[in-house]
Amino acid sequence: MHIPDAELEEEPLDPQQIVSGDPVVTGKVLWESADGKQLRGIWQITPGVVTDTEANELFVVVSGRATIEVEGGDVLEVGPGDAAVLREGDRTTWTVHETLRKAYHITLGG
């Protein structure tokens, strides 16, 4: 699959997560383990500012730019080619400067 051209489906944001702007989230799960605890896919968000509570995730940015502030922790500046790891339960604020598309692997707790 060519990630930059992949067709994604809209994933409505909880309005309470939107801090500013009118960001739109789209995504596609490419693979899910039989027990539902491992997910691999593509995720995209248009410019704006949103909050989130993270899963245990490794992602690689394919296109776009964002600043990810981890509450009580690091501030990540991510762009094309950057990889990042987020920890389950991290509370984050994403400031999306240019529409960001990433490939991800998530491991759900349990």
Tens digits of residue pLDDT in 42-84: 999 999 999 999 999 999 999 999 999 999 999 999 999 999 9
Output the pLDDT for position 1. 87
Domain covering 3-107: architecture: Sandwich (2.60)
Output the pLDDT for position 20. 98
Residues 61 and 82: their CA atoms lie apart, in Å, by: 5
pLDDT at position 110 over 70: no
Locate 101 and state its tokens. Answer: 């598309």
| Residue 73: closest CA among 49, 89, 55 | 89
Beta bridge partners of 91: 53
pLDDT at position 108 over 80: yes
Tens digits of residue pLDDT in 89-101: 999 999 999 999 9
Q: Which DSSP string corresponds to the chain?
A: --GGG---EE-PPPGGGEEEE---EEEEEEEE-TTS-EEEEEEEE-SEEEEEE--EEEEEEEEEEEEEEETTS-EEEE-TT-EEEE-TT-EEEEEEEEEEEEEEEEE---
Q: Indicate the domain borders of the chain.
A: 3-107
Output the pLDDT for position 105. 98
